[in-house]
Amino acid sequence: MSDWRVADRDGRIGLFSEDALRDAVARDALPPGCLVWSEGMAGWAPIDEVFPRPKRQPKAGPFSGLLWFLGVLLATALFLAAGAFSLALMGTDLLDEFPRAWLEVVWFGGAVLLALATLLFWLAWRGATARWSSMEARGLVRILVTLVALVGAGLAVFHGWQTEAVSRVAHAAEQMRDYRLTYVPQSQTLKINGQIGPGFAKAVEARMAAHPVRRIEITSPGGLVQEALRVARGLEARGGVTVVARRFCASACVVVLMGGEQRLADYDMTIDFHAIDRTVDLKLELQSYIQREQTTEARTYLVGRGAPEAYVRESERLGSGKIYRVPSVILAERGMLTGLVDGEGASIAVAEARARLEEAFPGVELKPFPLSVTDPVLNEAATRP
């Protein structure tokens, strides 16, 4: 068996037999970066190329396998839970579930939690697969885990990126939380005044669960259409509730009105159809998609409950800058309203209502017409107590 000469950066270390040299390599007894030479070689070569160091298997304690299994299981569960939480936040009406003071913390916290859970998930699986003897299985699992982790990281980044947008929308929508609900037990009437803002549907549902409600009187310039749809569908499912529009009813208020089994309005008012608008314009394609979906959903509901489709379509055509005002007498004649009331809330026949209006406004033709949302007459009506 040939002898081997060994040298490090400072010079030659000595002469070894092959068996002695292999033993020294196995024991890590030689400094790193050594060179070796033996008779018949063209020149000196790195020792690791000639005598590869054997791969050492980590020493496994009696419980190490179980601990790794539990660690990977826990990291995977945390990752899945954080992902589910992130998706749930994106699909939840946050303004309805959280006070604004906590909203940004909860939203950004969800993104941070998902990012940390993703990193822990990836590290846990990398560590666990390092113990596997099968290189092929190890590589395949690591590729799959990395792909899943990349999806989680991407979701975390998107979630965090939306924090500013969520904050702006929350601030704008919070200004709509000025609605007032008053219950009159003698007539079993729930009176609603103000904008339809965050938590509106829950507030209405809570009042109706606590009291017998046969009649709702609403005066509102509108607001969040999803809140209005939730109330309208609840009224429709409940049945037997009369909804009366008093003095002013626009945009989302019309949706609430259409949820009543009987739908009434003051004979001398208009019902104002308005295209769905963005609370805050974030310049996002996703926001445009949501707006289109909500427009379709609201139109389908209104038309399905008896609103003239031509009026709904015209308000959409006019856009968010204008409303389409339709006298309540016309809507009663077309069947959208099931009746009219006077200033005291008593029923009045459609023919008598038209006669009164023609007497009060001689020569004025009753017909639908557009009006700018900035018109002072409209703003005065919307804020009148």
Which of the four pLDDT bands, split at 50, 70 and 90, describes residue 279?
Answer: low
Let me know whether 319 and 287 are in one domain.
Answer: yes
pTM above 0.85, yes or no: no
Q: Give the pLDDT of residue 229.
A: 94
Task: Tell whether 129 is covered by a domain.
Answer: yes
Q: Specify whether 234 is located in the same domain as 343.
A: yes
Whether 294 and 225 map to the same domain: the answer is yes
Asked if the structure places residue 179 within a domain, the reply is no
- E strand or H helix at 176, and its extent? none
Partners of 272 in the β-ladder: 250, 325
Contacts of 357 (CB under 8 A, 6+ apart): 267, 268, 327, 329, 366
Domain boundary among 110, 143, 171: 171
Do 80 and 32 share a structural domain?
no
Question: Rounded to 5 degrees, what are φ and ψ at 3?
Answer: -90, 155
pLDDT for the residue numbered 369: 92
144 plus 249 within the same structural domain:
no
Residue 181 lies in a domain: no
| Interatomic CA distance for residues 334 and 368, integer angstroms | 13
Q: How far apart are CA 323 and CA 307, in angstroms?
A: 15
User: Do 247 and 289 reside in the same domain of the chain?
Assistant: yes
Q: Same structural domain for residues 19 and 161?
A: no
Q: For the segment 175-209, what is each residue's pLDDT rounded down to a tens digit?
A: 677 889 999 999 999 999 999 988 899 999 999 99
For residues 241 and 181, give the distance between their C-alpha atoms in angstroms, rounded to a whole number: 16
Q: Are 102 and 227 found together in one domain?
A: no
Domain count, the chain: 3
3-state secondary structure 247-306: EEEECHHHHHHCCCCEEEEECCCEEEECCCCCCCCCCCHHHHHHHHHHHHHHHHHHHHCC
Residue % of the chain over a pLDDT of 70: 84
pLDDT digits (tens, 9 = 90+) for 52-74: 876 655 555 444 567 778 888 89
CA-to-CA distance for 82 and 29, rounded, in angstroms? 48
What does DSSP assign to residue 39? Answer: T
Full domain range(s) for residue 7: 3-50
282 has pLDDT over 50: no
pLDDT value at residue 52: 81
Q: Tens digits of per-residue pLDDT, 298-350? A: 999 999 999 999 999 999 999 888 999 999 999 999 999 999 999 888 999 99
Residue 251 counted as domain residue:
yes
Q: Please tell me whether residues 296 and 232 are part of one structural domain.
A: yes
How far apart, in whole angstroms, are the C-alpha atoms of residue 349 and residue 219?
A: 22
Question: What is the C-alpha separation between 296 and 282, in angstroms, rounded?
Answer: 20
What is the Cα–Cα distance from 175 to 192, expressed in whole angstroms? Answer: 17
Element housing 132 (H / E): none
Same domain for 134 and 11: no
Task: Find the CATH number of the domain harbouring 347.
Answer: 3.90.226.10
* Local structure of 7: helix, strand or coil: strand
> Tokens for 2?
């040939």
CA distance 215 to 194: 17
Distance between CA atoms of residues 50 and 36, nearest Å: 8
Work out the average pLDDT over 30-35.
79
